[in-house]
Amino acid sequence: MTDDPQSPTGRPVPAWFTDAKFGIFVHWGAYSVPAWAEPTGELGATDPEVWFAHNPYAEWYWNTSQIEGSPAWEHHRAVYGGRPYDDFLDLWRAESFDPGDWADLFARAGARYVVPTTKHHDGIALWDAPGTGTRNTVHRGPRRDLVADLAGAVRARGLRFGVYYSGGLDWYAGRRAVIRHEDRIDDYGRPHEAAYAAYALRQVRDLIDRYRPDVLWNDIGWPDLGMADLPGMFAGYYAAVPEGVVNDRWDGAHADYLTSEYQANRQNETAAAWENCRGVGLSFGYNRNEGPEDLLDTAGAVRLLVDVVSRGGNLLLNVGPKADGTLPEEQRAVLEGIASWMTHHAAAVHATRPLEPGDAVPGGETADGEGPPWVRWTRDDRHAYAFVAGAPGGEAVLKVRPGLLDPATAARLDGGPVSAAAVSDGVRVASPWLDAPLPAAVRFSLASPG
C-alpha cells in the first residue's frame, strides 16, 4: 500500500490494517451451548419489528429466550426447563479446543488478523477479567484463558490479534432489561451508570495490559458516564500498541476506521478505511438451526471478500465455534475453500488498492452484450487484477480506460490459459473457466506503473 488512508480522526491508519484485507471474527461463549436461534435473515435486511423476538444471532440467546412466547422462549423451556442462563457457562467444556488448528486454518485462508469475543453481551469473560470473580472461563466451564490461548497461537503464525469487547451491553454487570425492540436499546437496554463505566474501563485496560491487542473492537457503544475516560484510555492504548487500530463503535468518541455489519450501515463503506463484518451464516455465535441455504458457500465468500477489497475495505468474516471447541464442518469447509483459492490469488488481494475512479466500470460486458459477468478489480503499483466470474462462454469485455493496461501481458493467476485483446471500450478476455461461480483473476501489467 503506497498511501495510508487517513482515518476519520486524522490519525494515519497503520498500513498493516489496510493491507490485511481479511480478518477472522470468532464469537464463542456460553451461548455456544444452546447454539439456538431462528435463521430469519441478515441485519439490515430483516424487519426490525421482528428482529428481537426472532433474533438470528444465536449469541443473543439470553435475551431472545426471555421474550415471552418467542420460539427461543419455547425452546428454552422445552429443552432446558427454563434453567438459569449461567448453567451454560458450566456446561461449556471446550474439551476439543485446539487453538493451533484454528490458527493454521485462518492463516491458510489468507486472514491477516483474528478478533475473538473476550466479553459479549452476556458479560461472561473469556479471560480472568477484573471484577468478574469466578464468572469467567478461567474459573468455570473451559477453565482456560481462552483469550491468551488464541492470542499465542495466532501470533505464532504471524497473524495480528485483536479483541472484541461488548462495552455497550452487559446483561450481568449492567442492565438486565430484556430488549424487545431496537428503539428500546438505548434508553433501558444499555447501562450508563458510573459503576458499570468503571467496570468496563478496568476490563478494557486489563485486555490492553495483558494482550497488547492489535485491534480494539468495541461493540454497541460505551456508557455515557464513561465517555470522559476514553481519550486517556485510547492514549494509553496507542502508547502500548503504536500500530493498534480502534473501530468506530464507541458512540463517536474515536475511530481509526468505520464498520458495517451484514447489510447494515453500508454507508460507512465509503470511508478511507472500513471493515464489513458478518458470519459465514446469519449468526455470529454457532446456530445449530442454520442449513446450507443460510450459509455462504466458498464462491459467495470469495466474491464478498473480493468485492469488499475492490472497494477499499476489509472483510472480517466470523466463525462460530461449537461449545466443544471444534469449528462447525460447514463453516470450516468455507475457510478451506478460501484457503485453496488463496494459494493462487493472495497477491491480487493483500496490500492492493482499488483502481482509480474512472479506470474501470464495475461489471464487464460479455462479447455479445448479454448480461454482465461478475467483474471486480484491484491493483498494486505494477499490475491490475481483474476478477471474473459467471462470464457466459468464458468470454467478457472488461470495460477499462484505454491505455490503462497492456492486454498482451494478460495472465491468469491460477495458470490457466487466457487470451486478451484491446477493443474500443476495454479489453476482451477469453478463458475456459471464466464462466465458473468462483472468481478467477487475470493479471495485467499497467501501461504506466505507479
Ligand X SMILES: C[C@@H]1N[C@H](CNC(=O)c2cc3ccccc3o2)[C@@H](O)[C@H](O)[C@@H]1O
The residues binding ligand X (CB under 6 A) are: 57, 59-60, 219-220, 249, 259-261, 264-265, 268, 277, 284
Residues whose CB is less than 8 angstroms from the CB of residue 239 and which lie 6 or more positions away in sequence, other chains included: none
C-beta closer to ligand X: residue 112 or 249: 249
C-beta closer to ligand X: residue 213 or 439: 213
C-beta closer to ligand X: residue 263 or 445: 263
C-beta closer to ligand X: residue 30 or 410: 30
Residue type, 233: M
Residue type, 391: A
3-class secondary-structure state, position 437: coil
Provide the minimum distance between the beta carbon of 378 and ligand X in the complex, in angstroms, as a whole number: 24
C-beta closer to ligand X: residue 132 or 260: 260
C-beta closer to ligand X: residue 15 or 220: 220
CA–CA distance, 106 with 336 (Å, rounded to integer): 9
Provide the minimum distance between the beta carbon of 375 and ligand X in the complex, in angstroms, as a whole number: 27
Report which secondary-structure segment, H or E, holds 17: helix 15-20
Provide the minimum distance between the beta carbon of 247 and ligand X in the complex, in angstroms, as a whole number: 9
Provide the minimum distance between the beta carbon of 427 and ligand X in the complex, in angstroms, as a whole number: 37
Task: Name the residue with the smallest CB distance to ligand X.
Answer: 265
Note whether 395 and 430 are within 8 A (CB): yes
Residues whose CB is less than 8 angstroms from the CB of residue 240 and which lie 6 or more positions away in sequence, other chains included: 208, 209, 212
> C-alpha grid cell for residue 375?
467483474
C-beta closer to ligand X: residue 284 or 444: 284
Residue type, 231: P
| DSSP per-residue letters across 143-196 | -S-HHHHHHHHHHHTT-EEEEEE--S--TTTS--PPP-SGGGIIIIIS---HHH
> C-alpha grid cell for residue 71?
420460539
Provide the minimum distance between the beta carbon of 260 and ligand X in the complex, in angstroms, as a whole number: 5
| DSSP per-residue letters across 343-361 | HHHGGGTTT-BPPPTTSB-
Kindly calculate the radius of gyration of the chain based on its CA atoms and give it in whole angstroms. 23
Note whether 338 and 301 are within 8 A (CB): yes
Residues whose CB is less than 8 angstroms from the CB of residue 52 and which lie 6 or more positions away in sequence, other chains included: 60, 63, 64, 67, 179, 180, 181, 182
C-beta closer to ligand X: residue 148 or 264: 264
C-beta closer to ligand X: residue 220 or 225: 220
CA–CA distance, 435 with 450 (Å, rounded to integer): 31
H and E: helices and strands count for the chain: 11, 15
C-beta closer to ligand X: residue 98 or 224: 224
Provide the minimum distance between the beta carbon of 213 and ligand X in the complex, in angstroms, as a whole number: 16
278 CA to centre of own chain = 5
| DSSP per-residue letters across 242-301 | TT-EE-S-STTS--SSEEEETTBTGGGGGSSSEEEEEESSS-SS--TT--GGGS--HHHH
Provide the minimum distance between the beta carbon of 22 and ligand X in the complex, in angstroms, as a whole number: 16
C-beta closer to ligand X: residue 204 or 277: 277
Note whether 10 and 257 are within 8 A (CB): no
> C-alpha grid cell for residue 330?
460447514
Provide the minimum distance between the beta carbon of 192 and ligand X in the complex, in angstroms, as a whole number: 16
Provide the minimum distance between the beta carbon of 168 and ligand X in the complex, in angstroms, as a whole number: 7
Provide the minimum distance between the beta carbon of 83 and ligand X in the complex, in angstroms, as a whole number: 22
Provide the minimum distance between the beta carbon of 32 and ligand X in the complex, in angstroms, as a whole number: 13
